[in-house]
Structure 1
Amino acid sequence: MKHGRDAQPLSVIEWVHRDDLYANNYNPNYAAKPEMELLKTSIVEDGWTQPLVARPDGEIVDGFHRWTCSGDPRIYAMTGGYVPVVRLLPPAVGDQMLSTIRHNRARGEHGVLKMAEIVRRLIDEEGMTPEQVMQRCGMEKEEVTRLYDRGGMTERGTQGKTEFSRGWSPKV
């Protein structure tokens, strides 16, 4: 365990040229094309907000997809091909693999109801069009429509009702 702020890898972020890094040969994580496009949009719109994690020799422990996106001409031009990197001391290969898995799994998953609330808020309260939500969140029209609809589903048709209709009651 590393104690103190100065002992944390994040205390030393380097700008490393992407060509000096390389993928590990065991990462089980895969991102489909829509997610990769969304990641590119995120970096283009927000800038680099998270460093890659690499061994001193340049092998990527975490951040393979960000590194892949850094080859996109728009992203490459932002920093001349340099990416932010945090280095890990050379752990044993097994420890490095565990680190990769922890980084991948710790990100969790998006809950549908929470996403529905966000989509509804972006459109109803933040004034975005469904097309803007589609583009900026990497969604298709059907997904935005379904999430938007789901965001109001629990309120719709329940005003003044205290119990379910007979159609919702199972027959005994």
Structure 2
Amino acid sequence: MTPAAPRGRDQQPISTVTWIHRDELRANDYNPNTQAPPEHDLLKVSLLEDGWTQPLLVRPDLEIIDGFHRFTLSADPQVYALTDGYVPCVIKQHATRADQMLATIRANRARGEHGVLRMADIVRDMVDAEGLTFQQIMDRCGMEKEEVTRLYDRGGMTERGTQGKTAFSQGWVPR
């Protein structure tokens, strides 16, 4: 039987956020998630501009279930200085190793992906309605100039690279 989450606001793990010094925490030995340098840099910008908005999920023995990349960045001198090295954590009680692995996979996979057309709408709105410059978007969203330009342009985005072609290449045909 699949265990159910606790019911009621006071019983939710988020109601028990506690600050734990990063030196007391440790990574698990199985996390399949990796983070490319641009996303790592963007996460740092997020922490420095937005602060800690999401706690790490840890076992009672302080092994990290979710939040390894935030934990890693907590060693960065600028991020460390925000809270003197303390990291917000939620302790998942009674987590077996299997429960822990399942929670890690769910957290990693549930984060979703950005749709390119919606991203284009947001970039255009940030420039046209909010007055941000391309450089501000590049710096604060971890984007290259070409990416911002293409998103802002949006015109023909779904048709790019298909000029003169009547069908997609065989690379797009499932076998």
Name the TM-score class by shorter chain.
0.7 to 0.9
Deviation at 1:18, TM superposition (A): 0.5
Deviation at 1:5, TM superposition (A): 1.4
The counterpart of 1:105, out of the listed 109, 129, 133, is 109
Amino acid paired to 1:37: D
Amino acid paired to 1:5: R
Deviation at 1:90, TM superposition (A): 3.2
**% identical aligned pairs:** 63
Other-structure match for 1:125: 129
User: What stretches of structure 1 of length at least 5 have no aligned partner?
Assistant: 155-166
Q: Does 1:38 align with 2:42?
A: yes
Amino acid paired to 1:125: A
Runs of 4+ in structure 1 deviating by more than 4 angstroms, as ranges, are none
1:121-145, CA deviations, whole angstroms, 9 ceiling, x for partnerless residues? 1111110110000000000111111
Q: State the alpha-carbon separation in 1 of the partners of residues 25 and 124 from structure 2.
A: 40
Amino acid paired to 2:26: Y
Other-structure match for 1:82: 86
Alignment map for 1:11-160 (pairs within 5 Å): 11-150=15-154, 152-153=155-156
Would you say how many aligned residue pairs link Structure 1 and Structure 2? Answer: 157
Partner-residue secondary structure (3-state), 1:117: helix
- Structure index of larger Rg: 1
1:8-38, CA deviations, whole angstroms, 9 ceiling, x for partnerless residues? 1111100000011011111111110000000
Q: State the alpha-carbon separation in 2 of the partners of residues 37 and 66 from structure 1.
A: 11
* TM-score, normalised relative to structure 2: 0.85
Q: State the alpha-carbon separation in 2 of the partners of residues 53 and 94 from structure 1.
A: 15
Q: State the alpha-carbon separation in 2 of the partners of residues 6 and 126 from structure 1.
A: 38
* TM-score, normalised relative to structure 1: 0.87
RMSD over aligned Cα atoms = 1.7
Other-structure match for 2:171: none
